[in-house]
Structure 1
Amino acid sequence: MTSSIARDQAAPQDPSREEVARRLLDSSETLSYDPAKEVDWETPLDTADHGASPEWSTLYRTSYWDEMTPEQQRELTRQEAASVASTGIWFEMILQQMVLRDFYAKDPTDPAFQWALTEIADECRHSIMFARGAAKLRAPAYRPTRVVVELGRAFKTIAFGEAAYAAILVAEEVLDVMQRDWMRDQRVAPFVRTINNIHVVEESRHMKFAREETKARLAGAGRLRRQINGLVVAIASYFIVTSMVNKKVYANAGLDSKRALREAKANEHHKSLMRSSCAGLMEFLNSAGLLTRASTWFYKRANLI
């Protein structure tokens, strides 16, 4: 499916890749945050605030949304934001295991090795931050379905090289686009805006690394390998994106779950928002040879293209 760890270890060091890692390490030293100190965890939740920009709600511009009271709309966005955060934690745990396995027993003096550990440390802090944020939004622990959890367990075990890093990039890019809107929106709870800002700043470095690793691992790759890994990444992306908003958010927001699910599934506004927001990501995957005919089917199903 992908190049083995041993093959990656034997490859000569890429000077440009090393320089990227050095720049990311320098940036991390200059601009990083401690969520325990930066986020206002003490001030009680103000229920007059949204948890996310209303435009990003899965029900925005549906007939159900128009019938909801402002209080219901705000509660729904809070539950949806908590669900996205919980899904983020789930995938960040997958990410950490894939990166640790990829750099296992490699040269610790390599800047890329040191950056990988830095990224893992960032992800640990982000996961704790998301967990505390979801709790402050008064949401339960939203988890993907059992099937998706087990598929994630398999993926983190077998995914190597470009398959791992391209999937990491998809998950981070989709979340990044959402959070860039939320962190600037004065309707969103201040502590949520701070969480989003921290994540956007620090994830920008992670996405740069994921792009560079994807390109580096694909150097010299043939058509068959790109076809296979393009499909693997697309399938992983489908389950990540479709797990972001848990079906239980509607009942927890006091809504009719069946009607909400039906209208959310048919919501063309939300589908269009996802597609337009991921245009740059799809362009990158296409340039890397990972946007194939088979993979496109899954991206369309996930409303990413």
Structure 2
Amino acid sequence: MARVLRPKDRDVTAERLLDSSMRNAYDPDVDIDWDAPLVEGKGFMPEERVSLYGTPLWDRLTPSQRLELAKHEIGSITSVGLWTEIVLMQLLARYAADLDPRSPHTHYALTEIGDETRHAIMFGKGIARLGLPAYGPPRVVRLPAKLFGAVIGGPAMFASVLVVEETTDRLQRSMLDDESIQPMIRMINRIHVVEEARHVRYAREELVRGLTSLRGPALELHRLVTALVAYAVINVLVHPGVYAAVGLDPREARAVALTNPHHRESRRWMAEKIVAFLTEVGMIGGPSKRIWQKAYLL
């Protein structure tokens, strides 16, 4: 039985988040030195989180190729993150349109849209500064997402947002104090982590509030949608094109990555906190739980 959480009054929470937004906000145009050169020899993400780490293919790569692969993988993850930020803005705008415009709860939803706009621009500038392609998700994911953005709301919307935000958040947090990572990437991560902490609290409380009366087939539908989003997003974070950038066959390398126990463990590690929360509140369970298992998130 999932523990019943009792979120505080939504406007009380929103007032606190609005106050925090005023006191702890960043401007990426000012707070990141986009003209600073990359530091030679510094990494782009922890080696043990690169999808091929620990495989024979990884062993064949030179140190410079490993750095290059890590750069392309963080660029791919960032590209998907940028795309999800834009989808989230659409969801929040539709959500806020039906709220009381006088409410602090509404004001925070609109504030979050502003945050996400800056984040998307920041990610785009970061990808450009690294000289990387805009990988992003394939059309097979982009097209259903348009339908998702148009019709899905309530608990499935907030749970899906949390899956995306909290999985990437854990990877970013692991780099904040890592001196071996490029300073620009660490600063991008710092800005995103600080501001996303507010977004996560807002979404978690609204999810719990929406679950109070959800039962039976309706609950299973929201569970299913969330599981499908989790499966789709985790599977497109690393674009096959990143392998071609270091001279590997994309199909072979992707097949190796998907069976790599280190990569599977990284997936579980990234999703560990949000999976625990969603299980606790009852959003992971029933037949759709197998989808989480197939994505190696459980």
> What TM bracket, shorter-length normalisation?
over 0.9
Amino acid at match of 1:99: L
In the alignment, which residue of structure 1 is the partner of 2:145?
A: 152
Q: Structure 1 length normalisation: TM-score?
A: 0.92
In the alignment, which residue of structure 1 is the partner of 2:155?
A: 162
> Does 1:86 find its partner at 2:79?
yes
Amino acid at match of 1:35: P
Amino acid at match of 1:181: S
CA deviations over 1:247-276 (Å, ceiling 9, x no partner): 101112333323322221111012112213
Question: Which range is displaced more, 49-58 or 126-135?
Answer: 49-58
CA deviations over 1:211-251 (Å, ceiling 9, x no partner): 01101111222222111100111101111111111110111
In the alignment, which residue of structure 1 is the partner of 2:178?
A: 185
In the alignment, which residue of structure 2 is the partner of 1:228?
A: 221
Unaligned runs of 5+ in 2: 1-6
Distance in 2 (alpha carbons) for counterparts of 1:203 and 1:132: 19
Distance in 2 (alpha carbons) for counterparts of 1:280 and 1:174: 8
In the alignment, which residue of structure 1 is the partner of 2:46?
A: 53
Distance in 2 (alpha carbons) for counterparts of 1:258 and 1:249: 11
| CA contact 1:79–1:253 (8 Å) conserved in 2 | no
Secondary structure (helix, strand or coil) at the match of 1:106 reads coil
In the alignment, which residue of structure 2 is the partner of 1:67?
A: 60
CA deviations over 1:61-89 (Å, ceiling 9, x no partner): 11111221110000011000111111011
Offset, 1:105: 4.3
| CA contact 1:231–1:292 (8 Å) conserved in 2 | no
Alpha-carbon RMSD across the aligned residues, in angstroms, is 1.4
Secondary structure (helix, strand or coil) at the match of 2:174 reads helix
Q: Structure 2 length normalisation: TM-score?
A: 0.94
Offset, 1:178: 0.6
| CA contact 1:107–1:113 (8 Å) conserved in 2 | yes
> Does 1:110 find its partner at 2:88?
no
Offset, 1:15: 6.1
| CA contact 1:182–1:193 (8 Å) conserved in 2 | yes
Distance in 2 (alpha carbons) for counterparts of 1:66 and 1:15: 51
Distance in 2 (alpha carbons) for counterparts of 1:254 and 1:186: 28
Secondary structure (helix, strand or coil) at the match of 1:183 reads coil
Question: Which range is displaced more, 230-239 or 250-259?
Answer: 250-259
**1:6-85, aligned counterparts within 5 Å?**
16-85=9-78
Unaligned runs of 5+ in 1: 1-13
Equivalent residue for 2:187, pick from 182, 188, 194 = 194
| CA contact 1:83–1:245 (8 Å) conserved in 2 | yes
Amino acid at match of 1:242: N
Distance in 1 (alpha carbons) for counterparts of 2:244 and 2:110: 40
| CA contact 1:47–1:74 (8 Å) conserved in 2 | no
Secondary structure (helix, strand or coil) at the match of 2:9 reads helix
CA deviations over 1:152-202 (Å, ceiling 9, x no partner): 111111111111111000000001011011222222111000000110111
